[in-house]
Amino acid sequence: PNPQRSKSHREANHLSLNSIRINNPSNCRFPNILDFMASQASLLLQKQLKDLCKHPVDGFSAGLVDESNIFEWSVTIIGPPDTLYEGGFFNAIMSFPSNYPNSPPSVKFTSEIWHPNVYPDGRVCISILHPPGDDPNGYELASERWTPVHTVESIVLSIISMLSGPNDESPANVEAAKEWRDSRDEFRKKVGRCVRKSQEML
């Protein structure tokens, strides 16, 4: 084998960003399509992380839970101004599948949060995090669901928009949705407690 060619292959497949390293097999061949897709996802996520580090976006910060795992991100969302969530700092974990961006990540708040579109266990329920294609329940248009053009930035901005304007038509938290519609004062009190708790956790 050509030593120079092997060296260039190793260099091309041995990228690093903030101590993240992707190591392909020594023969530089992917054993199957799943490994290839995971490698492509890793490279794309590295690029998105690098872009966010270079060009931070107002309203949130993002990084890795563990620098050795590019597929799990830690996100802190700042409660949007002029909303009930203003002043809060809400932490969430964003977990990406190995076939990203063909499939969406999942997002789960680790901070306590009271919202019609967040399940009681913290999982976020918004259209763009739902798999691509038609909605089997008929609530969403295919155009509202996940497409590979979405990025970490567009996902988080959609969650910030969700905080600004809850959708109570197909809620993840039925009780929160009912309070949002019928008992706004009680809803406001619960959100206020979540905001204060998030500030205490800083």
Q: Does pLDDT of 76 surpass 90?
A: yes
Tokens of 16: 């690093």
Residues classed as catalytic? 125
Task: Reply yes or no: is the peptide bond before residue 101 cis, omega within 30 of 0.
Answer: yes
Query: Is 49 inside a domain boundary?
Result: no
- pTM for the full model? 0.79
Query: Is 183 inside a domain boundary?
Result: yes
Query: Is 120 inside a domain boundary?
Result: yes
Q: Does pLDDT of 20 surpass 90?
A: no
Give the CATH number of the domain where residue 60 resides.
Answer: 3.10.110.10
Query: Is 103 inside a domain boundary?
Result: yes
Query: Is 98 inside a domain boundary?
Result: yes
Query: Is 67 inside a domain boundary?
Result: yes
Between 103 and 140, the higher pLDDT residue: 103
Tally of domains in the chain: 1
Query: Is 179 inside a domain boundary?
Result: yes
Residues with Cβ within 8 Å of residue 107, at least 6 apart in sequence: 75, 92, 93, 94, 95, 123, 124, 129, 155, 159
Q: Give residue 184's domain range.
A: 56-200
Residues with Cβ within 8 Å of residue 84, at least 6 apart in sequence: 187, 188, 191, 192, 195
Provide mean pLDDT across the span 183-201. Answer: 98
Give dist(CA 20, CA 53) in Å, integer: 14
Give dist(CA 120, CA 93) in Å, integer: 15
Provide mean pLDDT across the span 87-105. Answer: 97
Q: What is the predicted pLDDT for the residue at 202?
A: 82
Query: Is 110 inside a domain boundary?
Result: yes
Q: Does pLDDT of 132 surpass 50?
A: yes
